[in-house]
């Protein structure tokens, strides 16, 4: 798939993410405003509480971490008022110059996938982010509208590849007619999408979501994560159990491409902004020590 030049004046997402990871450490902080966390912060589970929580996180951490990842579901559950808050959060991140990875896990075909691409990856869209998560389980080729839109605007996508939830193995570990695991087909698709960037010595803009707690899955399924050429978004770091030994076992030579994702491990120290910054700095240092030593 040939990539179009990105929008004028905007470097490709992979290049921007690599620079942000070098500057701030390989950490992405999730904004996951579920009811229990809002309550822990002394906030109501309402659109107003959602807004207060989310904008406090942005104010505390923007410009201090490589990326911030709002989880769309926790905004969508409040209906149109929640979506309005999400638009405001994404706009605040844009103004601050901090990369926004919107966790929406969209996946569909044809004009429907093109509609999602317009919603999240088009310049001027109210919900536009620097990158989004997508699901490839209607076939990697079904992602074409999102891949094309991202390439045209200098944005990125993170494709679900190997997740740590027990149910994921039934699909991701399954073998295709060629004998290759479904997860390996996804990795191969990302590698093809990132070929030009890799040839130019750049980090590609098509990343993969690989759980930090998948154990021997990468080895058993023969996944060449380094050859994929893009960033590796890794949930499950820190509070969810994965430390340096687990990260080495899962990612091996591709560790330098890993963007560790943490939500509870940072947001649990709120709502005080100083404590949030300290928690993020600590998590970023721990991620750097584990991934870039």
Degrees, nearest 5: CA angle 155-10-26? 60
Distance CA 67, CA 207 (A): 14
Based on the residue annotation, tell me whether 69 is a catalytic residue of this protein: no
Is residue 255 a contact partner of residue 292, using CB atoms and an 8 Å limit? yes
Is residue 132 a contact partner of residue 146, using CB atoms and an 8 Å limit? yes
Other CB atoms within 10 Å distance of the CB of residue 124: 6
User: In sequence order, what are the residues at sequence separation of 6 or more whose Cβ sits closer than 8 angstroms to the Cβ of residue 190?
Assistant: 159, 161, 204, 206, 207, 208, 228, 229, 230
With CA atoms as reference, report the closest residue to 288 among 20, 59, 31: 20
Query: Which two tokens mark 133?
Result: 């998560």
Looking only at the bridges linking them, the beta strands covering 258-262 and 206-210 are unpaired
Query: Which two tokens mark 93?
Result: 């991140």
Looking only at the bridges linking them, the beta strands covering 131-134 and 99-106 are parallel
3-state secondary structure of 147: helix
Distance CA 27, CA 224 (A): 22
As a whole number of angstroms, the longest Cα–Cα distance in the chain is: 54
User: In sequence order, what are the residues at sequence separation of 6 or more whose Cβ sits closer than 8 angstroms to the Cβ of residue 18?
Assistant: 202, 203, 231
Q: Which of 10, 94, 105, 277 is catalytic?
A: 105
With CA atoms as reference, report the closest residue to 284 among 247, 238, 246: 238
Residues serving a catalytic function are 105
């Amino acid at each position: 798939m040939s990539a179009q030049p990105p929008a004028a004046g905007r470097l490709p997402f992979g290049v921007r993410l690599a620079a942000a990871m070098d500057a701030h450490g390989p950490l992405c902080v999730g904004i996951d405003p579920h009811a229990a966390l809002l309550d822990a912060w002394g906030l109501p589970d309402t659109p107003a509480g959602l807004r207060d929580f989310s904008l406090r996180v942005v104010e505390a951490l923007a410009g201090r971490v490589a990326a911030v990842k709002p989880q769309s579901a926790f905004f969508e559950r409040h209906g149109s008022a929640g979506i309005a808050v999400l638009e405001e959060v994404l706009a605040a991140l844009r103004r601050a110059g901090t990369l926004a990875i919107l966790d929406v896990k969209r996946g569909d075909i044809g004009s429907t996938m093109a509609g999602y691409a317009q919603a999240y990856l088009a310049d001027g869209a109210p919900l536009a982010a620097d990158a989004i998560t997508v699901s490839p389980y209607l076939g990697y080729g079904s992602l074409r509208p999102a891949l094309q839109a991202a390439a045209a605007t200098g944005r990125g996508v993170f494709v679900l590849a190997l997740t740590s939830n027990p149910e994921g193995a039934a699909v991701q570990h399954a073998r295709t007619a060629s004998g290759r695991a479904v997860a390996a087909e996804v990795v191969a698709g990302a590698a093809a999408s990132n070929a030009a960037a890799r040839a130019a010595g750049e980090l590609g803009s098509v990343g993969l979501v690989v759980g930090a707690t998948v154990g021997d899955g990468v080895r058993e399924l023969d996944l060449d994560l380094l050859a994929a050429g893009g960033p590796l978004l890794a949930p499950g770091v820190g509070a969810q159990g994965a430390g340096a030994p687990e990260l080495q076992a899962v990612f091996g030579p591709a560790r330098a491409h890993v963007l560790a994702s943490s939500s509870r491990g940072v947001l649990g120290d709120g709502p005080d902004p100083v404590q949030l910054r300290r928690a993020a700095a600590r998590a970023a240092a721990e991620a750097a020590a584990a991934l870039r030593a």
